[in-house]
């Protein structure tokens, strides 16, 4: 990791890593080196990242199984940061294994119908604090549908305007504002899961 001065938000997240696991869940095709998830992983020593053999076949059960195996040995609840299909898989794991998850940042979740997973994705409150980050011109989910899912999941909606699929092709590299959203999510998780006195 390069030597540099950390922002206050970065210092806050590093401190929060004593309370939570932080996990990046890429979408289909993984996230390239220029994707914000990769920058964050290289920028801060707090991240674990989902890995799997085949990123090209959008089988949500593969994502869910890989994420469940990653979280199983963890001693702390996790803050999950999922993009696209990875966001949908994160929702499923939060509902299936509520003891493993403290909060969800759902960035540009794909419309479940895009991957034919309507029967798998929860259609109710996710049970943990969550923030859905949406765009006005995301080809994988319209803003009106993002508003619908935020209501269904009881997620706070963060509208970041004309941002495409919030990926490299949309111009999202380092994306420091995304880290600020995670800081807000950590505050919500702290309220939902206060540390024992």
Give the C-alpha separation, 132 to 148, whole Å.
Answer: 11
Q: Which residues pair with 106 in a beta bridge?
A: 82, 132
Whether residue 197 is predicted with pLDDT greater than 70 in this model: the reply is no
**pLDDT value at residue 4:** 75
Token reading at 13: 């997240």
pLDDT tens digits for range 78-90: 999 999 999 999 9
> Which has the closest alpha carbon to 79: 25, 32, 133?
25
pLDDT digits (tens, 9 = 90+) for 42-79: 999 999 999 999 999 999 999 999 999 999 999 999 99
Distance of alpha carbon 109 from alpha carbon 39, whole angstroms: 20
- Classified by CATH at the fold level, domain 8-192 comes out as Rossmann fold (3.40.50)
Per the prediction, the chain carries an average pLDDT of 95
Predicted TM-score (pTM) of the model is 0.96
What's the pLDDT tens digit per position in 110-149? Answer: 999 999 999 999 999 999 999 999 999 999 999 999 999 9
């Amino acid at each position: 990791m390069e030597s540099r001065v950390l922002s206050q938000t970065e210092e806050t997240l590093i401190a929060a890593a004593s309370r939570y696991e932080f996990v990046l869940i890429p979408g289909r095709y993984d996230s390239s080196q220029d994707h914000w998830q990769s920058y964050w992983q290289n920028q801060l020593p707090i991240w674990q990242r989902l890995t799997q053999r085949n990123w090209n076949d959008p089988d949500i059960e593969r994502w869910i199984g890989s994420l469940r195996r990653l979280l199983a040995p963890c001693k702390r609840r996790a803050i999950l940061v999922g993009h696209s299909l990875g966001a949908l898989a994160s929702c499923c794991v939060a509902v299936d294994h509520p003891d493993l998850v403290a909060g969800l940042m759902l960035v540009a979740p794909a419309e479940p119908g895009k991957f034919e997973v309507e029967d798998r994705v929860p259609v109710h409150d996710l049970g943990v604090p969550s923030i859905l980050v949406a765009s006005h011109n995301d080809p994988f989910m319209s803003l009106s549908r993002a508003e619908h899912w935020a209501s269904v999941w009881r997620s706070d909606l963060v509208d970041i305007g004309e941002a495409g699929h919030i990926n490299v092709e949309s111009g999202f590299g380092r994306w420091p504002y995304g880290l600020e959203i995670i800081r807000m999510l950590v505050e919500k998780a702290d309220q939902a899961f206060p540390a024992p006195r």
